[in-house]
Structure 1
Amino acid sequence: MTAMHPHIHLHLHELRAAELRDRAPRRSATRRPLRTQLGWTLVEVGLRLAAAPPPRTARVA
């Protein structure tokens, strides 16, 4: 059994990745589907809510 040199393995991986990218359908980077925009907006809102400081309670002396 012969071991594959790491550089050859990396090169084969890069070739396969380039082949898959070439076969993938082209999508416009500037225009995203409504579902994607809505999803990222919900993620942003959720992160803002999670990072918000807790509400302050009034102190009565």
Structure 2
Amino acid sequence: MNTDLFLYVERVRAFELRAEAERSRLARTPVRAVRRWEVRLGWALIEMGLRLVHRRPAHY
């Protein structure tokens, strides 16, 4: 195989890989926002549960 053709094929493949990585990076961005919301909700539920556990019973 001619070396110029080999380099051309490798350059095209590198371009495709970069484009795929960029698409993947852009697709993950909204997931972070959703994940952040899930984490905040989870900690709020844990805090509420801890408050319920540490409340004094009414008969004291």
Normalised-by-shorter TM-score class: 0.3 to 0.5
TM-score by length of 2: 0.36
Structure exhibiting the larger radius of gyration computed from Cα positions: 2
Larger helix share, 1 or 2: 2
TM-score by length of 1: 0.36
